[in-house]
Amino acid sequence: MCGIVGYIGNKRAAPIILAGLKRLEYRGYDSAGVSTIDGGALTMAKKAGKVADLERATTVSKTEGTIGIGHTRWATHGVPNDVNAHPHADSSDNIVLVHNGIIENYVTIKKKLTAQGYAFKSDTDSEVLAVFIGMLYKTFGNFEQAVRTALCEVEGTFGIVVMCAEHPDMLIAARRGSPLILGVGNDEYVVASDAAAIVSHTRQVVYLHENEMAIVTRNGFTTKTILDIETDPVIEEISIELEQIEKGGFPHFMLKEIFEQPTTFHDGFRGRLLVDEGNVRLGGLSTVTDRLLNAKRIIITACGTSWHAALIGEYLLENMARIPVEVEYASEFRYRNPIIDSSDVVIAISQSGETADTLSAIRLAKANGATVIGMVNVVGSSIARETDAGVYLHAGPEIGVASTKAFTSQLCVLTQFSLYMARTRGMSAETGREIATALEAIPEMIERILAKSDEVKEIARQYADASNFLYLGRGYNFPVALEGALKLKEISYIHAEGYPAAEMKHGPIALINENMPVVFIAPKDEIYEKVVSNIEEVRARQGKVIAIASESDDFIDTVANHVIKIPDTLPMLIPILASIPLQLLAYHIAVFRDCNVDMPRNLAKSVTVE
CB of 100 closer than 8 Å to CB of 39: no
How near is the Cβ of 401 to ligand G6P at its closest, in Å? 5
Of the residues 50, 224, 487, 605, only one is catalytic, namely: 605
Phi, psi of 236 (to 5 degrees): -120, 165
Return the number of the residue (72 or 306) whose C-beta is nearest ligand G6P. 306
Q: Could you list the residues that contact ligand G6P (CB under 6 A)?
A: 303-306, 350-352, 355, 358, 401-403, 603, 605-607
Instruction: Say how far apart CA 37 and CA 35 lie, in whole Å.
Output: 7
Cα radius of gyration (the chain): 25
Catalytic residue at 605? yes
For ligand G6P, the closer CB: 350 or 569: 350
| Spatial distance between the Cα atoms of 134 and 147, rounded to a whole number of angstroms | 9
Shortest reach from residue 600's CB to ligand G6P, in Å: 8
- Which among 2, 164, 303, 412 is annotated as catalytic? 2
> Residue 294 and residue 105: Cα distance in Å, rounded?
43
Give the nearer residue to ligand G6P in terms of CB position, either 305 or 569.
305
Q: Identify which of 596, 602, 606 has the alpha carbon closest to the alpha carbon of residue 251.
A: 596
Q: How far is the CB of 607 from ligand G6P (least distance, A)?
A: 5
Q: How far is the CB of 583 from ligand G6P (least distance, A)?
A: 12
C-beta of 50 vs 423, nearer to ligand G6P = 50
Q: Are 216 and 172 in contact (CB under 8 A)?
A: yes
Q: How far apart are CA 14 and CA 391, in angstroms?
A: 38
Which residue's C-beta sits nearest to ligand G6P?
Answer: 304
| Annotated catalytic residue 2 | yes
Q: Which residues contact 463 (CB under 8 A, 6 or more apart)?
A: 469, 517, 544, 546, 589
What are the φ and ψ backbone dihedral angles of 285, each rounded to 5 degrees? -105, 0
Question: What does residue 359 show for φ and ψ, rounded to 5 degrees?
Answer: -65, -45
To ligand G6P, the closest distance from the beta carbon of 403 in angstroms equals 4
CB of residue 364 vs ligand G6P: minimum separation in angstroms?
16
Contacts of 252 (CB under 8 A, 6+ apart): 400, 587, 591, 597, 598
The amino acid at residue 84 is N
Question: Toward ligand G6P, which CB reaches closer, 44 or 491?
Answer: 491
With 0-12 / 13-18 / 19 or more C-beta atoms within 10 angstroms meaning exposed / middle / buried, residue 462 is middle
Closest to ligand G6P by CB, 25 vs 553, is 25
Which active-site residues does the annotation give? Answer: 2, 605
